Amino acid sequence: MSDLRELYQEVILDHYRSPRNFGHHQPSNREAKGNNPLCGDKFTVYALVEDGMVKDISFEGRGCAISTASASLMTELLKGQTEQNAQAMFERFRGVVTGEQDQRLDDGLDKLNVLAGVRGYPMRVKCATLAWHTLKAALNQTDETVVTE
């Protein structure tokens, strides 16, 4: 059960129960939908991008504790970053949850280490990255719905 406690840490449960930046923030000029057809999780991610800066991010929809907490943490951490930085942070985050990257995240991303526990649950990596893939699509202004399964 100890690895389950690691997966469902208090931080994750807190962000699941009280997701930050939940609901569509106005104004926004980027948006994308993401869904995981395997479990029915669906998110819409909104962003306000000006002068290459991600000035605001919000999301709505419903998902499991892992996908919701990850979305909530993402909105907090990427707000105020440059688009370029946001993309780079996505790659680093992806590396941690897939297990491709072994070391813990630092310099501002250390909060995301709470999600590293999903690497033991390959089926759940898609939950952890759903909102991130969706934000990436929003920033790239891709029209297609993001699907992770």
Partner 1 sequence: MTDTASPTETAPRFDAAAIRDQFPILGTRSHGKPLTFLDSAASAQKPQAVIDAVAETYAFQYANVHRGVYELSERTSAAFEAVRGKARGLINAAHDNEIVFTSGATEGINLVAQSWGRANLGPGDEVLITEMEHHSNIVPWQLLRDEMGITLKVAPFDDHGVLIMEAFEKLLSERTKLVSVTQISNALGTVLPVREITAMAHAAGALVLVDGAQGVPHLAIDVRALDCDFYTFSGHKLYGPSGTGVLYGKADLLAHMPPWKGGGDMITSVTFEKTEFAAPPMRFEAGTPNIAGIIGMGAAMDWVAGLDQGGLAAHEDDLLAYGAACLSEIPGLRIIGTAPDKAAVISFVLNYAHPHDIGTVLDNQGVAVRTGHHCAQPVMEHFDVAATVRASFGAYSSRDDIDALVNALEIVRELLG
Point out which residues bind partner 1 (CB under 8 A): 1, 3-5, 7-8, 13, 38-42, 62-66, 121, 123-124, 127
What residue has token string 């709505």?
A: 60
Least distance (Å) from partner 1 to the CB of residue 147? Answer: 14
Least distance (Å) from partner 1 to the CB of residue 63? Answer: 7
Q: Which is nearer to partner 1, 25 or 126 (CB)?
A: 126
Least distance (Å) from partner 1 to the CB of residue 102? Answer: 22
Q: Which is nearer to partner 1, 89 or 127 (CB)?
A: 127
CA distance 71 to 93: 12
CA distance 61 to 71: 10
Q: Which is nearer to partner 1, 118 or 139 (CB)?
A: 118
Contact present, 136 and 129 (Cβ < 8 Å): no
Q: Which is nearer to partner 1, 38 or 88 (CB)?
A: 38
Q: Which is nearer to partner 1, 66 or 138 (CB)?
A: 66
Least distance (Å) from partner 1 to the CB of residue 34? Answer: 14
Among 66, 70, 72, 56, CA closest to 19: 72
CA distance 125 to 51: 32
Least distance (Å) from partner 1 to the CB of residue 131? Answer: 14
* DSSP SS3 for 28: coil
CA distance 121 to 17: 22
Amino acid at 34: G
